[in-house]
Chains A and B, each alone.
Chain A
Amino acid sequence: MLEVKGLSKAFNKVDVLKGIDLSVKKGDVVVIIGPSGSGKTTLLRTLNFLERADAGLAIYDDKEVNFNRVSKKDIQEIRKRTGFVFQNYNLFKNKTALENITEGLVYAQKVPKEEAKVLALKELERVGLVDKQDHYPFELSGGQQQRVGIARAVALKPDIILFDEPTSALDPELIGEVLAVMKGLAEEGRTMIIVTHEMDFAKEVADQVIFMADGYVIEQGSPEKIFKHPQEERTIQFLRRLLPEDYTVYL
């Protein structure tokens, strides 16, 4: 479904991504973990061209793009195939919950308005917010806004949904409702790449866990492998700091 090879990116001559290889199969839930500044978010953003990578290849199904010479048309095409859920939700403030979802359907995908509304309501139902369809973002809690954000991404029927720390900006009591929606999507067999600090969620939902640090993929594998039998010193250090009780055995 998605192959990434040798993805690199530098900001002002500081290398943030140093040759990332990545392989995502259809229906996979890939969770990327790692300390802050490790390049997780940048990796996700380059996949959707919100950030332009300096080098590397990406193969989306049949479509192969070279990151350093990609046309506007290719970018548009790939954005159509990928959905993006933002850390700060980034809902359109001048649009209602429903309009946030129909906007991309109507104006990017040229779906007739009535049809788009039906599709959007279906997505709002999935995230449990049909009763908030006419509310503007400022009238919604962070958790509700993020659920609309997810509905907005899913409604466009992307092949892959990219989640950039979707619960990091939320109050602790609102995290659960967002993770529940994401878990539902995973169970439906959606292909997802998720950057998160929610380790329990990663253990439970991921098919593949990638541990990144300093712009490299240090270790990857099943949640079982990464969380129970990490091989690399950096992975062990990271997990120990995050979940001290579980990793005393490695001390």
Chain B
Amino acid sequence: MDLAFLLEAFWIALTGVPLALLVTVVTLMIAVPIGFILAVFRVNNIPVIKQLSIVYLSFVRGTPLIVQIFLIYSTIPLILNMTFQKYQIDYDIFAIHPVWYAFIIFSFHMIAILMEVFRGGLSTIDQGQREAALAAGLSPVQTYIRILIPQVFANALPNLSTATIHLIKATSLGYAISLQEITLRTKVAANVGYNYLEAYIDIFIVYIILCSIVEFAFKRMEERLKKYQGLSE
């Protein structure tokens, strides 16, 4: 075991954290609202959208993430190429930074997962409170925004935490599309002296630290919400 390299590679692994977090945050910013809206469509049995979202969900859940990554990563350039040619746009598709692909791929994956998370949360909506808000003169939109949605999010928080951690770990598969995140950077550093074990240990530790911090943050958020839920662990 090369202790000096173990230490050195740890810092290299850390340099991949910002990109991993960027992908996580952007993905959530895209997937949370869309997943929520699709969940609302599904619980309200909106035709067509409901059926499509079920097919989409089974696709995401029924295939390995790495296969989804390869599939989308190969499809997008094809589509872009055709579009660019059609409209005669002069742009080198292969110059597109892989992080853009990562946003699309992980959003595609997470929308399905978050749709299920919010569907669970929406099923906890208390119709009585909805009626009470309407009876108090609130509009249906005010009722959702002020009373129901905050409670849906509170109820969905534990599952949202699990989904976020799943996403952080999933960004490690970004190495497959040359995304310079934690895993790829460290592995590349290990290529020089074949110090793969040290590199893998460092990657392992960095993910554990990262996920623990995020989990802790969600826990704190949950505790703050417990204030009005009266839940105790």
User: At the interface with chain A, which of B8-16, B49-57, B222-230?
Assistant: B222-230
Query: Given the interface contacts A90-B129, A93-B151, A94-B147, does A50 sit within 8 Å of B134 by beta carbon?
Result: yes
Q: A84-B132, A90-B132 are known contacts. Are A104 and B137 too (CB-CB below 8 A)?
A: yes
Q: Known contacts A90-B128, A94-B151, A94-B154: does B146 contact A103 (CB below 8 Å)?
A: yes
- CB pair A50 B135 closer than 8 Å: yes
Q: Are B128 and A86 in contact (CB under 8 A)?
A: yes
For B227, the chain A residues whose CB sits under 8 A away are: 136
In the complex, what's the smallest C-beta–C-beta distance from A96 to chain B, in angstroms? 8
A107 to B154, CA, bound (A): 22
Interface centre among A48, A88, A107, A156 (most CB of B within 10 A): A107
Task: Among B126, B128, B134, B137, find the residue whose CB has the most chain A CB atoms closer than 10 A.
Answer: B137
Q: Name which of A10-18, A75-83, A199-207, A237-245 contacts chain B.
A: A75-83
- Is there a chain B Cβ closer than 8 Å to A29's Cβ? no
Residues of A12-52 contacting chain B, CB below 8 A: 48, 50
Instruction: State whether the Cβ of B48 lies closer than 8 Å to any Cβ in chain A.
Output: no
Most buried by A among B142, B154, B228: B228
A149 to B133, CA, bound (A): 11
Q: Mark A145-172, 1 if CB is under 8 A from B, else 0.
A: 0000100110010000000000000000
CA distance A80 to B154 in the complex (A): 30
Q: Are B137 and A156 closer than 8 Å at their CB atoms?
A: yes
A84 near B142 (CB under 8 angstroms)? no
Give the nearest-CB partner of A50 in chain B.
B131
Quick check: is B162 within 8 A (CB to CB) of the other chain?
no
Which of chain B's residues have a CB closer than 8 A to the CB of A86? Answer: 128, 131-132
B149 to chain A, nearest CB (A): 10
Whether A139 contacts B128 by the Cβ 8 Å rule is no
Q: How distant is the Cα of A22 from the Cα of B126 in the complex, in angstroms?
A: 31
Q: Find chain A residues with CB under 8 A from B137 CB.
A: 76, 79-80, 104, 108-109, 156
The interface bits of chain B over 125-156 (1 if a CB of A lies within 8 angstroms of the residue's CB, else 0) are 01011011111111100100011001100100
Whether the pair B147, A156 counts as a contact (CB closer than 8 A) is no
Q: Which residue of A lies closest to B151 (CB)?
A: A94
Which residues of chain A come closer than 8 Å to B228, judged between CB atoms?
93-96, 136, 138
B197 shortest CB reach to chain A, Å: 50
Least distance between B81 CB and chain A CB atoms (Å): 50
Bound CA span A153–B135, Å: 9
Give the residues in chain B near A153, CB-CB below 8 Å.
135-136
Chain A residues whose CB sits within 8 angstroms of the CB of B146 once the complex forms: 103, 107
| The one of B132, B134, B229, B230 that contacts A92, using a Cβ cutoff of 8 Å | B132
Picked from B136, B150, B151, B230, the residue with its CB within 8 Å of the CB of A103 is B136
**A75 nearest in chain B by CB position:** B134
Interface residues as binary, B74-91 with A (CB distance below 8 Å gives 1, 0 otherwise): 000000000000000000
Q: Complex: how many Å from CA A152 to CA B230? A: 22
Q: Which residue of A lies closest to B127 (CB)?
A: A90
Contact check, B126 vs A103: say whether CB atoms are below 8 A apart: no
| Partner of B135 from A84, A88, A136 at Cβ < 8 Å | A84
Top 6 A-B residue pairs of the complex, sorted by shortest distance between their CB atoms: A108-B137, A104-B136, A138-B230, A90-B128, A90-B132, A84-B135
| A positions within 8 Å CB-CB of B | 48, 50, 76, 79-80, 82-84, 86, 88, 90-96, 103-104, 107-109, 136, 138-139, 149, 152-153, 156
